[in-house]
A and B are shown apart, each in its own frame.
Chain A
């Protein structure tokens, strides 16, 4: 509550631009934060488990579920025939993503049925008792070598600017190559889960671990054949998501809801980790073909690129994901002539989906390979090549998608990082170390990041919030964004505290629910704070305007004399403690609740034409990484990383720094040890932490210097001039890949481009060492 002392404070606690702990930090460390599996279950709660296919591409010849039904504790078994609405959870309208495969299975691990039983263990054991035979078809697991005629899941995107063929033909130097870029499992620590409670009429309340409650709501309605207004979806927090719960939660929520409505009992569905990894989509892997023209000064003249992505069996979000790859192939570089197309290849694997960066990282890794090729071809330091090709003043400021880069600060960031990381001297020291070290070799790389902020699906760039001020001056905050650990809730609460000038402790952050704020967008594309922060501020501003009107009327002062001070309001020459002021307003029948709204201005995108302004602004950053590799085994370690990253004016330095550090390490995992491995049958064999290796504490850099750019302010009027931070730092880890490449290159005197494809596992590094030695004849 408001204490006497607080109403005379000079400054509120928890306003914007303040370091503040995550709102749930105390609950996290005490084990008191409630995740969906922790919610108290109503009596009679049933448990659901999915039966998965054991063929990558086949007709279901026979499926005998009698042994499943006969297993102990089983209440019922649900198949496609039990779906009252539409057996489909495709998020973008293609109707290609069944809840339960009906006649044909399209990947190994596809759900075919669900068992409902008294306990989870019973349901799980029963699911294993199904007797299924398959009539197998040829299965396409990998992106084919020649993907030009491959079956695709969506219409490809083409970007083109300038006279590309001419530029390539006339360029003094030209080379072509191919790069493979691996995928990535999200490995959220809390797996997929949904818990549905049936209500009266068609009603169902679904607790879903999702980044996109509105979509889950629509999907549950679609599958159950009931209107959206019968479905309420709620999520207080997720135990990590990273894009893996943007669409992938739909199926689990729909099956739980179906089980709940079928049995009339609360129903929970939580797959085992292995099933979760097998049955849910991942980051797309890509094969990139490139053709680049350049000159001896290392300047790029033209590029022609093909990004073929493994999309899996259905479209899911593969359209926008592969699009975003193209949007980031340029990274920070001006391409005088550029052409790029996507090939969203359909494969008999799980349907790939959103993952932090949403294709952008893959696009950027492909683009950075071009820099590396030019550097080895010309003998220049890759950093020098980077700098020579940075976006600059007009006309060198237009992207391949015809958006003008208006907020470019990369040159200054890179200059500052180059100095603070002592890049040049260390590069020299590394060269001399390598000369005297026959086995261990070091490498260093400094790479930049420019990441476009906004959903390229323009209509997604809207958000709502609901703010109530109660009579005691405490505030209830709700918005459409979801909390997955990124600190969205605390940042938006800081925005609200700042708006009312009240201590953040007086702002109660409440679970995201479709019943309070409707028609929300996924909490994705790094947009959470930008969108929901503005929507919440809008709600606060509406209430404040009413309060000002009230004060003007009651006290007869001009509006500018009503000032919100820390935990109090000055009206003319009187000051009222905030709760007193609110109580007065209530007694005067002032509406103390508002629904806020925001939509991002300026943006537009014409996909068919490949032009527009898809991004409101760009976030920038750079990282310098140093590694050591063992040329006998390919093992390596990251010695030091220096990061300088741009978050505009940070709303919460501690939270933003956590995103930068955590994003970097996750990106490093993607590019190094995280390897997805399917066998010839199309079965994912790296389906648990025992086989799929995300970074450990001891994998983090031995020296890790992380700074936020302290002079940056968003040139666009975003929420308190901050910038989005969720995804951009992920791509700082490209510096690790390039440092490994630099170390590998040392075995051939830096004359040959190592073409080290990610994930750069120890095996991949050793393979590159062998290849370079063979090519160099040493």
Chain B
């Protein structure tokens, strides 16, 4: 019998907070602003897109304290057990002086209306903690989840470039880190947590095995990892989830292992950790990594969540399907593995039985003769949901395609392979004439929808354009891609 605790305990600044009985989906933002009257953290959108509510959350991960930027509007208080929460109010020094990050924002006129500013300060603070001399590229990436409507961002970037020169000893949290770490170690007692509040129930399993047991016993429960999607069910859909099973704290669900055959990602691996690991094995995936979500979403959202929620416009499935990934599902002590493409049955339906959850994903290595690319099309270049996400993989031997796997998101009710296009290419010469035929086949593979992200026509045209780009990039010298990130494997 696993030990059970009925309270949540975490640190808010230096204060120990202990909560028993809380609405399982009460947001950290509301709790900070209403219950604690810490009103520096702002609500701009309540859906994790604008970053005005950014705070830092530290947790002992795999034995070491690590902070991540978090959208407090879609983070549930009850997921904060054994965490350390820092808000904009915690940055000033004890004698009231501004933190170097704050001072740089003042010096460079980084605020106008000021409403987004606390969120920017916290996102910059995360960078300041991680790096002493971040470049503009790094700062832009860190700010992909922060919207400012007034400044045009230039002064904020300048502040980011200048903040590193500030006095690091002025930061009381760096100075007191070992103390915080020790306290968090004490709080992380590894037990299961069960709490009831607002007539609803939450369970935090102690381990993956415990999760399997809990979920098998409560197959109607909602599993929540990063809450970057489910958070919106609550803040926008006003859902009253019951019971809720939280898994973001499970280190054993967030392991990454790489060997000669490929890479295995636990379902709880965040984008922030998973994509770089994938990019080491498949360098061409890196561009997509920087166009998916903002830093806060990448810090919270998980690869497993992106698959398990079955969205037709998630960015993880297309490249992993093209790469031939498999997914392992678990129910109790039973496991089964199936190809990722087969997991998606139709819109809103996946091959997942009640009580069964996504435990891990395996992505096999590519042979040396394979070409692989993944491209995203969205209205805004970054932090936007894909209109189309196209992933392409062909194995070419003696100028002929021996194997083709092409998958698209945004073109159908599920992430879906372009079977006709693959047939057109397989066995064909890897040349312009074959691509022309493949493009014609691609138009037959999908009948996409028109919506606010793109018209059906544009989806088809841009999908064709991506296929052509793939060919050009693997064969021609001319540049074919807008380069925002300077770390693409090709171009």
Residues of chain A touching chain B, judged by Cβ–Cβ distance below 8 Å, are: 21-22, 24-35, 37-38, 40, 121, 124-125, 128, 186-191, 237-242, 272-274, 436-440, 484-487, 628, 630, 632-637, 654-655, 657-658, 661-666, 673, 675, 677, 685-686, 688-691, 693-700, 704, 706, 761-763, 766-767, 770
Contact = CB atoms under 8 A, between A and B. Distances in A.
B41 A31 contact: yes
B452 A691 contact: yes
Contacts of A688: 45, 47, 49, 236
Contact of B465 (A440, A633, A663): A633
B389 to A, nearest CB: 12
Contacts of B92: 30
B296 to A, nearest CB: 13
A59 B49 CA distance: 36
B407 interface: no
B150 A240 contact: yes
Given A27-B114, A189-B148, A273-B47, A693 B380 contact: yes
A636 B377 CA distance: 11
Contact of B42 (A189, A487, A706, A766): A189
Contact of A632 (B106, B113, B465): B465
B254 interface: no
B106 A766 contact: no
Contact of B149 (A26, A188, A658, A761): A188
Given A188-B113, A690-B385, A704-B154, A770 B461 contact: yes
B141 to A, nearest CB: 8
B109 A635 contact: no
Given A240-B113, A240-B115, A696-B143, A766 B462 contact: yes
A633 B50 CA distance: 26
A689 B45 contact: yes
A661 B154 contact: yes
Contacts of A31: 38-41, 87-89, 117-118, 121
Nearest to A242: B149
Contacts of B465: 630, 632-633, 766
B113 A700 contact: no
Contact of A187 (B103, B143, B149, B455): B149
7 contacts: A31-B88, A125-B238, A190-B113, A632-B468, A632-B480, A634-B458, A763-B379
Nearest to B237: A128
Q: Which of B101, B148, B387 has the most CB of A within 10 A?
A: B148
A658 B151 contact: yes
B143 A697 contact: yes
Contacts of B326: none
A632 B114 contact: no
B151 A439 contact: no
B284 interface: no
A189 B113 contact: yes
Given A661-B152, A696-B380, 4 more contacts: A28-B117, A190-B115, A663-B152, A686-B452
A191 B46 CA distance: 11
B469 to A, nearest CB: 5
B144 interface: yes
B161 interface: no
A485 B113 CA distance: 3
A190 B150 CA distance: 12
Contact of A485 (B89, B150, B382, B454): B150
Contacts of A658: 109, 112, 150-152, 155
A189 B451 contact: no
B105 A189 contact: no
Contacts of A128: 238
A694 B154 contact: no
A635 B113 contact: no
B112 A29 contact: no
Interface in B44-77: 44-47, 49-50, 52
Given A25-B111, A240-B115, A189 B52 contact: yes
A391 B91 CA distance: 54
Q: Is the interface of B mostly helix, strand, loop or mixed?
A: loop
Contact of A697 (B87, B101, B106, B157): B157
Interface in B438-481: 451-455, 457-458, 461-462, 465-466, 468-469, 472, 478-481
A767 B458 contact: yes
B453 to A, nearest CB: 8
B381 A29 contact: no
A21 B151 CA distance: 13
B236 A29 contact: no
A26 B383 CA distance: 29
Contacts of A437: 478-479
A657 B116 CA distance: 19
A486 B112 contact: yes
Contacts of B47: 273, 688-690
A694 B147 contact: yes
Contact of A239 (B113, B143, B378, B385): B113
Given A437-B479, A630-B481, A189 B44 contact: yes
B146 interface: yes
A440 B117 contact: no
A274 B236 contact: yes
B80 to A, nearest CB: 19
Interface string B161-203: 0000000000000000000000000000000000000000000
A273 B52 CA distance: 13
Nearest to B140: A698
B49 A689 contact: yes
Contacts of A633: 375, 377, 462, 465-466, 469
Given A189-B115, A240-B113, A272 B156 contact: no
Contacts of B462: 632-634, 762-763, 766
A45 to B, nearest CB: 11
A24 B112 CA distance: 9
Given A25-B111, A190-B113, A273-B46, A693 B140 contact: no
B31 interface: no
A677 B379 CA distance: 13
Contact of B114 (A40, A485, A635, A636): A485
B147 A28 contact: no
B116 A189 contact: yes
B129 interface: no
A646 to B, nearest CB: 18
B40 A32 contact: yes
Contacts of B263: none
Contact of A630 (B43, B113, B482): B482
Nearest to B50: A689
Nearest to B473: A439
A22 B469 contact: no
Contacts of A685: 451-452
A696 B98 contact: no
B377 A762 contact: yes
B99 to A, nearest CB: 8
A699 B154 CA distance: 11
Contacts of B377: 633, 635, 762
Nearest to A25: B106
A29 B113 contact: no
B112 A485 contact: yes
